[in-house]
Chains A and B, each alone.
Chain A
Amino acid sequence: MNKRSTWALPYVIFLVLFVALPLILIMVYAFQDGNGHFTFGNFAKFFTDTDAIETFALSLEVAIENTALCILLGYPAAWILANKNLNRSAVTIVLFIMPMWINALMRTLATAELFHMLGMQLGKGTLIIGMVYDYLPFMIYPIYNILEKMDKSYSEAASDLGATPWQVFWKVQVPLSMPGVISGVMMVFMPTVSTFAISEFLTNNKIKLFGTIIQENINSGMWNYGAALSLVMLVIIGITSLLQDNKKDVNEGRV
């Protein structure tokens, strides 16, 4: 071992202790019953438990809706922020980004309080509104970043070749900003799939998301079932992130 690689040792230890080991433990627990014997029972239980499957489906639905709304609201916001003719001040950008710096739990509690004050019935509607509010900055920022750094000569070249402002937007700016949209999706979709605190506060625990079920099982000592559910979620997250890696390869060096 040469000298340089010894510098990596602290990080290796950290990774083993806090990333690899917990993952191995989840795997081990997921395939064991309460007595430590190997079993597929935990998974069988999940796939036959209609409640759990429904919650899982609802979680995915909420995550997809939340991500879609964040793109619909976030893309135009990012575009306006990055457009020097419409926004000349760095302050507006900070105002949009600032919520990212505040603890999500605090924001969620404040939102719940606001719904309460407005007399709104807590339910799926308030859950989606709250989630969009929580995650919107994470969508705006990566898109803003890529639009802001985009060489404006691409847009000029397009209009020079006869594209109307609308065509410049759809045929050049949108495709070139896709890497930003994908980063935004990763930063919004993945955390929403696993969230539990937000749904608890914003629906008064009326709506349970997948994260909530995992949390409940672990809290009540059902470690093996909880681990199996976590593994299912990890697989979903793994698939989404694989999707992003492939897209990134295609887009790398293009922007």
Chain B
Amino acid sequence: MKNTENIIEIKNISKSFGDKRILNDVSISVKRGEFLTLLGPSGCGKTTLLRILAGFGTADSGEILINGKDITDMPPHERPVNTVFQRYALFPHLDVYENIAFGLKLQKVPTDEIDRRVRRVLKMVSMTDYEDRDVDSLSGGQQQRVAIARAIVNEPKVLLLDEPLSALDLKMRKDMQIELKEMHRKLGITFIYVTHDQEEALTLSDTIVVFDDGNIQQIGTPTDIYNEPQNSFVADFIGESNILNGRMIKDRLVEFAGHEFECVDEGFGEDVDVDVVVRPEDIYIMNRLEGAQFTAKVKSCTFKGVHYEMFVDTDKGYELMIQDYNAFEPESEVGLIIRPADIQVMHKERTCNTFDAEIISEDRVKFLNTEWECKPQTKFAAGEKVKVEVKFSKVELIDHPEEGTLAGEVHFLLYKGDHYHLTIRTEDRDDIWVDTNDIWDKGDLVGINIAPKDIKIIKCDE
């Protein structure tokens, strides 16, 4: 039976360029009339997915259905979708009217109907009187409007928008956001919107799909994504947040930043390592110390227009970001309270590095395509397949890649209140996770060393 509620079904789409995986088994269902945003940092695969939807790129595997019909191999000109391009791609040899009428003329729509429809969309994007203008004489915002008009005049079932506002200045972007939302309401068609701007995504969308590294991190409404991020990547990418290591002591009781807090999460088990997210606006800050859950000393205080942004050092040595309408003097002692409902507890994706490995000799083991020295052992024979565990804090990073046993690049970093949690990507595209107090930047090339005593060899369980 046809599913009439979903207009688009994206099923298990994968795509690689060379040995780089761009999309990894992506599945999304888009409801009819929905405003769906594909959100993620640059290079996360969101634009590739949009191009596959438009027909400009092909997937290595998987299929796409529109209205229950398989369009995976359909050429772009037959697809019932239209695209608003990032750089607009207005035809420079045609004027505004001819640009908008381009699609209708190809469909051999009668001239008087073309005229009526072009004028209607021009009015809709507030560009009446501009039909004879040369597209190059238009400002960025006006070109944007023409690009949208050119796409919607064909009355597509789905409108694809590839970062359409990224070339506009901030004020113009805000205005266009409101207009786009209004346009979506009036047209009642499905919008699929690609952006790297989390605020834009939160403002516009009915549903947000957060991407990173070709994988869907979370699908949800803007409020879900903001209030209940499923992992530390989403929490860090959407809005400002304090992300800390924590431990679930039992249901409704979690420990982080050196204190125990009541929370509303259940079902994690007892004594389980977790990640904890607290939004900076959810920490109550006051001059009184009695009645506070814990205390801190204000390090800095910056006026941000609506609120003040403060960084504080807590009594147990964690750094937290706090936003409040009142300013608190640097160096002053403050009391802090976090309400149970404002603590978001997340499963940890991993608690230590685990690699598939092979024993080379008594004191050598091979993993990540590299031989490492380990503590002499006799439990496993040479050639035996084993697993290796290395604690995050036991991986040593050095400035010079060539001096490390293995070289890598800082791929992602997360501040966890008292240390940084880094993802290091090796040349073979394997990931190593590292806890460190040193400051690294994204893209830094590093050497990786692990002391022999910190390589723990365990049996490969089936």
A: which residues have CB within 8 A of B?
151, 153-154, 156-164, 167, 171-172, 175-176, 253-255
* Chain A hits for B76, CB < 8 A: 156, 159-160
Segment among B100-108, B173-181, B196-204, B436-444 that sits at the interface with chain A:
B100-108
Decide if B77 touches A160 in the complex (CB within 8 Å).
Answer: yes
- Known contacts: A176-B92, A255-B92. The answer to whether A161 contacts B85 by CB under 8 A is no
Residue in B83, B91, B93, B107 whose beta carbon sits within 8 Å of that of A160 in the complex: B83
10 tightest CB-CB pairs across the interface, nearest first?
Answer: A161-B103, A153-B89, A254-B92, A157-B89, A159-B76, A175-B93, A159-B77, A162-B106, A160-B83, A162-B77
Contact residues, B136-189 vs A (CB, 8 A): 136, 150-151, 154
* Chain A hits for B136, CB < 8 A: 253-254
Q: Does B87 contact A (CB under 8 A)?
A: yes
Decide if A157 touches B92 in the complex (CB within 8 Å).
Answer: no
CA A171 to CA B151, docked complex, whole Å: 17
A227 → chain B closest CB, angstroms: 43
Decide if A157 touches B154 in the complex (CB within 8 Å).
Answer: no
Q: Does B56 contact A (CB under 8 A)?
A: yes
CA A66 to CA B68, docked complex, whole Å: 55
B: which residues have CB within 8 A of A?
54-56, 75-77, 81-83, 85, 87, 89-93, 102-103, 106-107, 136, 150-151, 154
* Chain B hits for A161, CB < 8 A: 77, 82, 102-103, 106, 150-151, 154
Decide if A176 touches B93 in the complex (CB within 8 Å).
Answer: yes
* Chain B hits for A156, CB < 8 A: 54, 56, 76, 83, 85, 89
- Contacts A160-B82, A162-B107, A254-B136 supplied; 9 other A-B pairs, CB < 8 Å: A151-B87, A153-B85, A157-B89, A158-B91, A160-B76, A163-B102, A175-B93, A254-B92, A255-B92
User: Who on chain B is nearest to A178 by CB?
Assistant: B93
Main secondary structure of the interface of A (DSSP, over half): helix
Ordered by A's residue number, 9 sampled pairs between the chains whose C-beta atoms are within 8 Å are A151-B87, A156-B83, A157-B150, A160-B81, A161-B77, A162-B103, A162-B107, A176-B93, A254-B92
Decide if A167 touches B89 in the complex (CB within 8 Å).
Answer: no
User: Who on chain A is nearest to B160 by CB?
Assistant: A160
CA A2 to CA B151, docked complex, whole Å: 56
CA A158 to CA B154, docked complex, whole Å: 13
* Chain A hits for B102, CB < 8 A: 158, 161, 163, 171
CA A254 to CA B135, docked complex, whole Å: 9
CA A164 to CA B93, docked complex, whole Å: 19
Q: Which one of A156, A161, A164, A254 has the highest number of Cβ atoms from chain B below 10 Å of its Cβ?
A: A161
CA A153 to CA B75, docked complex, whole Å: 16
B117 → chain A closest CB, angstroms: 13
User: Who on chain A is nearest to B85 by CB?
Assistant: A153
User: Who on chain A is nearest to B54 by CB?
Assistant: A160
* Chain B hits for A172, CB < 8 A: 91
Decide if A159 touches B75 in the complex (CB within 8 Å).
Answer: yes
User: Who on chain A is nearest to B90 by CB?
Assistant: A157
User: Who on chain A is nearest to B135 by CB?
Assistant: A254
Residue in B87, B107, B151 whose beta carbon sits within 8 Å of that of A153 in the complex: B87
CA A137 to CA B91, docked complex, whole Å: 28
* Chain B hits for A159, CB < 8 A: 55, 75-77
CA A159 to CA B91, docked complex, whole Å: 12
A158 → chain B closest CB, angstroms: 7
CA A155 to CA B104, docked complex, whole Å: 17
CA A172 to CA B154, docked complex, whole Å: 18
Decide if A163 touches B93 in the complex (CB within 8 Å).
Answer: no
Decide if A167 touches B56 in the complex (CB within 8 Å).
Answer: no
* Chain B hits for A255, CB < 8 A: 92
